[in-house]
Amino acid sequence: MKYLDEYRDGERARQLAREIHRITTRPWNIMEVCGGQTHAIVKFGIDELLPKFITLIHGPGCPVCVTPLEIIDQALEIAARPEVIFASFGDMLRVPGSTTDLLSVKAGGGDVRMVYSPLDAVRLAEQNPARDVVFFGVGFETTAPATAMAVYQAAQKGLKNFSMLISHVLVPPAIEALMSSPNCKVQGFLAAGHVCAVMGYEEYPPLAAKYHVPIVVTGFEPLDILQGVLMVVQQLESGRAEVENQYTRAVQREGNLPAQDLIRKVFRVVPRKWRGIGEIPQSGLGLNDAYAAFDAARKFGLADRQVAEPAECLSGLVLQGQIKPHECPAFGQRCTPEHPLGATMVSSEGACAAYYRYRRQTPDVAGKTP
Partner 1 sequence: MCLAIPGKIESISGDDPLVRMGKINFGGILKEACLAYVPEARVGDYVIVHVGFALNRVDEEEAHKVFEYLKQMEELGELEDREAGLPPAGGKT
Partner 2 sequence: MSQVPIENFALACPVPLAQYPHVLLAHGGGGKLMHQLIGKMFLAAFRNPLLEAQLDSTVVEWTGRKLAFTTDSYVVRPIFFPGGDIGSMAVHGTVNDLAMSGARPLYLSSAFILEEGLPMETLWRVVCSMRDAAQRCGVQIITGDTKVVDKGKGDGLFINTTGIGIIEHDRMIAPQSVRPGDAVLVNGDLGRHGMAIMAVREGLEFESRIESDSAPVADLVRQLLQAGIEIHCLRDLTRGGLASTLNEIAEAAGVRIDIEEKSVPVREDVHAACEMLGLDPLHVACEGRFAMFVAAKDAERARQIMRDHAVGAEPAVIGRVAESSMPLVTLKSVIGASRILDMSSGEQLPRIC
| Rounded Cα gap, residues 340 and 319, in angstroms | 15
Q: How many residues bind partner 1 (CB under 8 A)?
A: 51
User: What's the min distance (Å) between Cβ of 36 and partner 2?
Assistant: 6
Collapsing DSSP to helix, strand or coil, 89 comes out as coil
Contacts of 275 (CB under 8 A, 6+ apart): 65, 66, 67, 68, 69, 309, 315, 316, 342, 343
For position 68 contacting partner 1 by CB under 8 A, the verdict is no
> What is the total residue count of the chain?
370
Stretch that binds partner 1, among 112-120, 294-302, 303-311, 329-337 (CB under 8 A): 112-120
| Residue 107 vs 292, nearer CB to partner 2 | 107
Which of 130, 119, 59, 128 has the alpha carbon at shortest distance from 89? 119
| Residue 332 vs 350, nearer CB to partner 1 | 350
Which of 299, 303, 302, 301 has the alpha carbon at shortest distance from 162? 299
For position 114 contacting partner 2 by CB under 8 A, the verdict is yes
Q: Which of 195, 216, 280, 345 binds partner 1 (CB under 8 A)?
A: 195
For position 90 contacting partner 2 by CB under 8 A, the verdict is yes
| Contact criterion met (CB below 8 Å) for 151 and 164 | yes
| Residue 32 vs 326, nearer CB to partner 1 | 32
User: What's the min distance (Å) between Cβ of 4 and partner 1?
Assistant: 6
| Rounded Cα gap, residues 111 and 340, in angstroms | 23
* Own/partner long-range contacts of 361-366 (Cβ < 8 Å, ≥24 apart): 364/326, 365/326
For position 3 contacting partner 2 by CB under 8 A, the verdict is no
For binding to partner 1 (CB under 8 A), which residues are involved?
1-4, 6-7, 12, 15-16, 19, 34-36, 61-64, 89, 116-120, 139-140, 142-143, 145-146, 149, 152-153, 192-195, 197-198, 223-224, 227, 248-252, 256, 258-259, 262, 349
